[in-house]
Chain A
Amino acid sequence: MSSQNDQSNKFSTTRRKLLMGIAALPAVPLLASAGLFSTPAMAQAPATSAVNTTGLAVTDTEVTVGILHSVTGTMAISETGSVQAEKLAIDQINAMGGVLGRKIKFIQEDGASDWPTFAEKAKKLLVNDKVAAIMGCWTSASRKAVLPVVEQYNGMLYYPTFYEGLEQSKNVIYTGQEATQQILAGLDWVAKTKNGKTFYLIGSDYIWPRTSMKIARKHIEGHLKDSSVVGEEYFPLGHTQFNSVINKIKLKKPDVIYAAVVGGSNVAFYKQLKAAGIDLNKQTLLTISVTEDEIDGIGGENIAGAYSSMKYFQSLDNPNNKEFVAAFKKMWGEKTVIGDVTQAAYLGPWLWKMTVEKAGSFDIDKIAAASAGIEFNKAPEGYVKIHDNHHLWSKARIGLALPDGQFKVVYETPDLIEPDPFPKGYQ
C-alpha cells in the first residue's frame, strides 16, 4: 500500500521477532536466536500454547475476532461506517503479517438494532466462537446490554462511539471520547473566541444528551465567567417539529445554541432553523451530535456555519489521516464519508493488535492488564494513548461545517485531554 504500512510493517516485524524471541527463549534458546535473524516471511509465530492459555480461537496461523454491529434496522445507517473501518483495519493488519504471526479472521454478527440481540450475539461470539476480541456496539443501550456478557465470559470489547461516560470496565476499551473530553474544551473555546455568555441547550430525550447537557450546564455555570444557561429542552427521539423551540430561542437570544439532537430529528432541526431565518454564520451553534455522516442527510447547505465538537474530522490535515482517508475510499468507494465514530472504530483493531504484542499473549486478562499505556502513533486523529481507565487520551477539536458537507478544523486543544468517565463536580 503506502509508506505508512511499510514503516509500521518494519516496526512491527522487529517487534514481533523480539517478542517471539522472548516468548520462546526459555524453551528453545537456539531456535529463538535463529528466529531473531530470520526474514519476516520465514518468521515463526510463537507457539499457540504459549500465547493462548484460555482456549480462545487462536490457531498457529489464525486468530478470530468478532465484529458486532447493526447491519439491519434503524441503527444500520450509523453503524455501517464502523463496520467498514474495522474491516479496513483488519485488512491492513493482515497485509502487514497479522498479530503475533497470525492472520486475523473475523466473524461478523448482526445486532439488528435490537439490544437483546446484541447481548445474544456477544455471547455467541464469546462462548461458541471463542473470539479473542469483539469490535462492536454503537448506541449506549447496546453497550449496556453487552457489558454484563463480556464481563461474565471475560471477553474484550472495543467500543467506538463518543458516549456519556459513567462507566469503566476491565473488559472494555472505549476508543471514542467520553463526555467531558468532548464537551469541556469545546465550551471553553466557544466562550473565549465567540464571547459566548448565554447558552441554550437542546437535545434529544435520552441518556446521552441529558448527561452531556448536565456536564455542560455545570461547566457553564461553575467554570465559565458570567455565563449562564437560558434554556434547556429535550425532544422525543424522532420528533420533527421544532418551530416552537426556535421561537423560544429567538426570544431568549442566546449567544450560543448548544445542540445534541440525533437521528431524523437532526435533519428537521437544522432545516427548520434555517427556514426560520436563523443564519448560523451569525448565530453561533455548537453541536456534539453532528459528524460528516449526519451532514449527508441534513444537507451541507442547511448546516453550513455551525460548529461541531469532535475529536476527528475527515478533513484533518496530517499524513496519517491522508493515508487513512485514501485507503478507506479505495476500499469502500469515493463517495463514502468518514465521521468521528468511523475513525474511532478504525482504532479498535490496531489498539488490540498492539496490546496483544505488548502482552505477548491473546489471553484476555493479560490484554486487559497491558492495555493501559498503549500508544498509537499512526492514528488518523494523531497520537493516542490508552489511559488506566481504558479510555483514550485524545485531543478535542472544533470543526466549522462547510456547504460541501465537510468540516474545516478551526481549533484543536494543544495537549491530549485526560479521559475522566466519572468527573468529580460534574455529577
Chain B
Amino acid sequence: MLKSDRTFFLRPQDMIGIAVLAFLLIVILPLTLDNFRLQFVGKYLTYAFVALGLVLCWGYAGILSLGQGVFFGLGGYCMAMFLKLESSSVEATKIQTTPGIPDFMDWNQITELPYMWQPFNSLTLTLIAVILVPALFAFIVGFAMFKRRVGGVYFAIITQALAAIMTILIIGQQGYTGGINGITDLRTLNGWDIRTDSAKTILYFVCVALLIACILIAYFVKSSKLGRILVAMRDKEDRVRFSGYDVANFKVFVFCLAASLSAIGGAMFTLQVGFMSPSFVGIVPSIEMVIYAAVGGRLSILGAIYGTLLVNWAKTSFSESFPELWLFGLGGLFIAVVLIFPNGIAGLWQTYIAPRLGPLFGGTAARRASPPATPPAPPPSGSAAPAAAE
C-alpha cells in the first residue's frame, strides 16, 4: 500500500527545497551564529519535529491534536530516564539513603528502582522506547477514538484533556517522575559528557540529520498512495469510506507517526537542553506547537520547519527586548495566521515570491504549497465510482 506510483518519491523542487534547508542548517547557521545562539536553534529544531508531525496529521489528514506535548514529553522523559540512571551511579549518589537510584526517588522514600524504570538502564531499549511508547499510547487513544468516528473538534478537546491529565499525573507522582521539577541534572550519555559546548554542537548536527531524515519520511508518506488517501479523507471522508477503505486505520497510522516524530523531538530536546519537565507536556505548550505548524503553513512540510524557527526566534528576541509585548505578538500571530494567511509562510511564498523566481522555483513551488490546488485524490484504482455520500 505504501508503494508509490511515482518512480521516486521526491519531486525535483522538493529536493531543491530540502537541499536549501540542509545548507541553511548545516552550513550557514553554524558559520554565522556563535555557539550560544546555535544551541538555541538546536532547541527550536526539536519543536520542528512536532510541527512536522502536525503537518501530516493536521494538514494532510485533518486531525488536529492539541496533545502533541504529551508525546514530546513521553519521548523526552524516556531519554531523561536513561540519562538520569546513568548519572545516578552508586558512587555519585553515595550520600543517599539508597545509593544508585535517582536523587528525587531517594527523597520520596523509594528504596528500589521501580519496574517502570528498569528498561531504561539500557540505551538500546531506551531508544526503542522513545519511538514505541508514544506510538503505542497514540495507538490506544487513536484506535479507540477513530474507530468510533470521533473527529474534528471532539478529538482536539479530548487530546487537550489528555495533556491536562498527563501533567497532573507527572506532577503528582513525583517519586517516580521527579514531579514539577522534572528530571534534571543529566550529565552523560554512555560516558560522553553532553554538557560541554563541543557535545552540544555535535548534538545539534545529530538533530539536524534526524530532522532531515524525518522530513524525507514525511515526503515519502505524503507522496505515497497513503498520503493521497489521507487528503481525500480530510476533504470527503464518507466517499473514501464508501470506496471501501477503513478510514480509521489510516488515521490511527498517521496519528501514531506524528506521535513518534514528536517523541524523537522530545528525546533530542532532553539531550540538548539537559533536562525534561512537565512544563513541556501541558496544554499551553501543546497549543503553541500547533501554531508553529500553522505559521509555517499547515500543508507544507518544509514550511513547518521554517515556521518553528521563525516563531521561536521571534519569541526569544521579542521577550529579550520587549517582554511585555511578547504575548500580544504571539496572540496576534495566532489570529493573523488564521484570518489573513491561513496557509502560512508557505502560502505567502507561493503567492508573492515564487512567481517572481524562475520557472524551477516559481511554477513548482506554487504547486507544492498551494493547498486548495492539492490535486483531488484520484479514485482508488479498482474501486467503483465513489458513492454519493450526501
Contacts and interface: CB of A to CB of B under 8 A. Distances in A.
A287 B279 CA distance: 27
Interface of B: 36, 39-40, 43, 95, 97, 103-104, 106-109, 168, 171-172, 174, 179-182, 184-187, 195, 273-275, 277, 279, 319-320, 323-324, 326-327
Interface in A84-137: 109-110, 112, 114-117, 119-120, 123-124, 127-128
Please indicate which of the listed interface residues A119, A144, A166 has the most CB atoms of chain B within 10 Å of its own CB. Answer: A144
Interface string A144-167: 110110001000000000000010
Interface of A: 71-72, 109-110, 112, 114-117, 119-120, 123-124, 127-128, 140-141, 144-145, 147-148, 152, 166, 205-207, 210-211, 234, 236-237, 422, 427
Contacts of A119: 273-275
A123 B34 CA distance: 13
A152 B195 contact: yes
A72 B323 contact: yes
Given A152-B195, A427-B107, A427-B109, A141 B36 contact: no
A72 B319 contact: yes
Contacts of B180: 140-141, 206-207, 237
5 contacts: A72-B324, A114-B279, A141-B181, A148-B184, A207-B179
Contact of B43 (A72, A116, A166, A206): A116
A236 B106 CA distance: 23
A236 B171 contact: yes
Contacts of A124: 36
A422 B273 CA distance: 28
Residues of A contacting B: mostly: helix
A160 to B, nearest CB: 17
Given A124-B36, A140-B180, A148 B172 contact: no
Contact of A112 (B184, B274, B319): B319
Contacts of A148: 184-187, 195, 274-275
Contacts of A207: 104, 174, 179-181
Contacts of A114: 279
B179 A206 contact: yes
A271 B185 CA distance: 39
Contacts of A152: 195
> 3 nearest interchain CB pairs?
A206-B180, A144-B184, A144-B181
Contacts of A141: 180-182, 277, 279
A339 B235 CA distance: 58
Contacts of B179: 206-207, 210
A112 B323 contact: yes
Contacts of B40: 120
Contact of A205 (B109, B168, B277, B324): B168
A46 to B, nearest CB: 31
Contacts of A210: 108, 174, 179
A166 B107 contact: yes
A141 B319 CA distance: 20
Contacts of A237: 171, 180
B36 A123 contact: yes
Contact of A206 (B108, B174, B273): B174
Given A72-B326, A141-B182, A115 B319 contact: no
